[in-house]
Amino acid sequence: MTAVILDGRLIASEIKKQVALQVGQLAKRGIKPFLATIQVGDDPASSSYLRGKHKAAEEVGIQSENHHLPANTPQDKVEALLGQLNTNPRVHGILVQLPLPRGFDEDRIIERIIPYKDVDGLHPINQGKLAAGKEELVPCTPKGIIKLLSHYKVPIAGQRAVIINRTTLVGRPLANLFLNRDATITISHSKTPNLAQITKTADILVSAVGRENFQIKPEHVKPKAAVVDVGLTRVEGKLRGDVDFEAVSKLAGFITPVPGGVGPMTVACLVENTVQAASIQTRG
């Protein structure tokens, strides 16, 4: 048996087509969705991710601009910029590219974004809404995972989902999305003992560790499970995920590739969130 490949590039393309139609509908009302991003420092991975985000925005007709600040920019200068973007009616979506350089209080930065412009869905108010079962501006990677599973008709209700990640970026919001869809959730992490015993119970296994010395092998996976790989590590100059794709794909029922799985879905959900934010702010 070979697992069904969950093709994130294909589904992301379909999402972006729908977003482009929504952008066209907003344009008829004189509304031009606009995304502003902030990058502090010159981290190569952050620069690459941002280029992909702005390219996707351009593809669907969303206007965008990046504010690139030196790594030694004081925190209050970044907060002042956020204040300007918050009050600018032309700007519908704000994204601060994470991680920020050492010395920054990331939580405080995120809290400075107006919740209805927070297209990353990381503001405590947006996280709280999600925890309460109200899905509005949802973090992009978890949202993309749910959309990918749903497209391929992977059952969620009544299934056991195991997530190896407890961050507010992936693990916690994804757990809430699964709960909203009637799954039974286990969150595991770096301090979880006997990890394979837990992961082998999963009908849906999501790994978002991203460490060179970590890998999901067949002994971690329940036969016919859906395996979602969010990890990304550069090993000997090559990008790889958390999952031993070749070995696990012979056992799993569904599996995401790296690259081409969750990554494109994250970007597609960002532009979708930007249009959603524009719609929220311009409701008649």
What would the pLDDT profile of 1-11 be if each residue is shown by its tens digit?
Answer: 699 999 999 99
**pLDDT reported for residue 174:** 98
Angle of CA points 167, 177, 142, to nearest 5°: 50
Catalytically annotated residues: 53, 97, 120
Q: Which amino acid is residue 119, in one-letter code?
A: V
Segment 124-137, tens digit of pLDDT: 999 999 999 999 99
Question: What is the four-CA torsion angle of 255, 257, 263, 264, rounded to 10 degrees?
Answer: -90
Segment 61-90, tens digit of pLDDT: 999 999 999 999 999 999 999 999 999 999
State if pTM tops 0.85.
yes
Residue range 145-153: mean pLDDT, rounded:
98
78, 111 contact by CB (below 8 A): no
Segment 182-228, tens digit of pLDDT: 999 999 988 899 999 999 999 999 999 999 889 999 999 999 999 99
Ordered by where they begin, the domains of the chain are 30-117 (3.40.50.10860), 140-264 (3.40.50.720)
241, 205 contact by CB (below 8 A): no
**pLDDT reported for residue 1:** 66
Alpha-carbon distance 6 to 22, whole Å? 25
Angle of CA points 272, 151, 169, to nearest 5°: 50
**pLDDT reported for residue 191:** 87
